[in-house]
Structure 1
Amino acid sequence: MPEAAAPASSAPAASRTHLVLIPSYNPGPKVRDTVAAARARWNPVWVVIDGSTDGSAAWLQDMAAQDEGLRVLALPANQGKGAAVLHGIEQAAREGFTHALTLDSDGQHPAHLIPAFMQASQARPDAMVLGVPQFGAEAPRIRVLGRKISNGWANLETLGAGIGDSLFGFRVYPIAPLARVMRGQRFMRRFDFDPEAAVRLAWAGVPAINLPAPVRYFTPEEGGVSHFKYLRDNALLTWMHTRLFLGFALRLPRLAWRRWRPAGR
């Protein structure tokens, strides 16, 4: 059952530092439940429409017209998840926000955990707060096994910096270092965004806090929408980890010093 939005009288007060950011591309009707669930637990919530053509842009604009805590930003054409996130955090930084919790628009992520993740971020603003997915029986086995491989590479590329899960997009980012690493190169704009963001932020010295988070895969009959293409996206991840491993080799002395330097130095 979709999570119902809280009554307006119990809506959370607006944060000046932390916002929920939802990149959205052709998510189907479930996006309305996702946004309502996020708004019930946080203020503000921003949605970046990444060139959607399924009618969801109109639904979200209608919701935003009735809710001061919801803002909709729109890109004219599909550019990829990372590009949508970058568009959102750059605007957020201009308005004084320091952190963004990213939430997928398809209902798979646990909106009820938004306050807990935000609280962890507020306690450690220097860190990224990473969700570690807890899968149900409905999760595609090939996806679960595939992310274990990606996680192994991510922890090798960071000398075991503590990335609990490299692919799960339910996480809180400190905006300034994320924007900095994204502007510094032309990758991280599509499906490669989440794992590369975690690795590059670890390289930049951003520590990771890992919190468990249930994930739900919906069937098409339940309104589930997936844009994952097995060959295309695994090829993208393979190329990404090849690049990151080469970058890791160049950074190895500095990463090793940071990891094992004597205490107090």
Structure 2
Amino acid sequence: MIASHSESHLVLIPSYNTGPKLFETVQAARQHWAPVWVVVDGSTDGTAEDLHRMAADDPNLRVLVLPVNRGKGAAVLHGLIEAERCGFTHVLTMDADGQHPADRIPQFQGVSQANPEALVLGRPVFDAAAPRLRVRGRRISNWWANLETLWGGIDDSLFGFRVYPIAPLRRVMARNPWMRRFDFDPEAAVRLCWNGVPTINVPAPVRYFKPEEGGVSHFRYLRDNALLTWMHTRLMLGFLGRLPMLAVRRARKASFRSSHR
């Protein structure tokens, strides 16, 4: 049973060789929202064909296929362009591996519908199965993201369960060649903050699956941390040029909060 349907907000799931977990994720998302779109990012595991069969029986499920793997950010951008062309204004992105809570989709979309100008960020709540190395490592990226926005309200820079307003994200991605792979989530949050998009943080549980449970991870510790290091180097250079503007914006926010107490 579908809990919600929207003409403005859709669920967008980028996927690359996620295997059977993808179908569980799509089915769970469809139980709570319509429409749901999947961008198959050059997968070679046969999931595109099975998804097309699912979509043939479900008018609220759409499958977009990229011929080669381009990266998460590129897959999201492909979906954004088509979503905007079809009249949608917001997308909730979620990972295809089952880690993100489909039952929270209506809550996040509802927050976005009430605050359409905002970026609604998930704040992950980890269980005991979460890899300690990755939990600790993300704190470093979160610290840098908050420094780069002068503590602009990013509780977690890496959690991909979030609702984007399409128009400002499209403009940000059109202006630079980055944000096309694993660097997409943190850089998108930082650059949207730079562009004055307010943030709302909402807690959401995250679950890590073991390989024997069907868990799939394409995270590579050295490669992806090198990518994040280069990303934060770029962002720090951009931050220094924007520091006066960010300081004025932060002062205005503080003044507004104090005057409304």
TM range (shorter): over 0.9
Check conservation: 1:46, 1:73, Cα contact below 8 A: yes
Percent of aligned positions with the same letter in both sequences? Answer: 70
Which of 89, 92, 104 is 1:98 aligned to?
89
1:260 aligns with 2:245: no
| Counterpart residue identity of residue 218, structure 1 | F
Deviation at 1:12, TM superposition (A): 4.0
Deviation at 1:13, TM superposition (A): 5.2
Which of 192, 197, 212 is 2:203 aligned to?
212
| Counterpart residue identity of residue 16, structure 1 | E
Give the TM-score normalised by structure 1.
0.94
Which of 200, 223, 233 is 2:224 aligned to?
233
Q: 2: distance between equivalents of 1:56 and 1:94?
A: 25
Q: 2: distance between equivalents of 1:39 and 1:170?
A: 16
Check conservation: 2:118, 2:197, Cα contact below 8 A: yes
Task: Give 1:1-265 correspondences, 5 Å limit.
Answer: 10-12=1-3, 14-261=5-252, 263=256
| Counterpart residue identity of residue 102, structure 2 | A
The match for 1:3 is none
Q: 1: distance between equivalents of 2:33 and 2:231?
A: 33
Deviation at 1:258, TM superposition (A): 1.2
Deviation at 1:11, TM superposition (A): 2.5
Check conservation: 2:4, 2:32, Cα contact below 8 A: no
Deviation at 1:259, TM superposition (A): 1.2
Check conservation: 2:4, 2:106, Cα contact below 8 A: no
Check conservation: 1:14, 1:69, Cα contact below 8 A: no
**Residue correspondences, number:** 255
Aligned Cα root-mean-square deviation (Å): 1.0
Task: List gaps (5 residues or longer) in structure 2.
Answer: none
Q: Secondary structure at the match of 2:48?
A: helix
Q: Secondary structure at the match of 1:74?
A: strand
Deviation at 1:200, TM superposition (A): 0.3
| Counterpart residue identity of residue 219, structure 2 | F
Task: List gaps (5 residues or longer) in structure 1.
Answer: 1-9
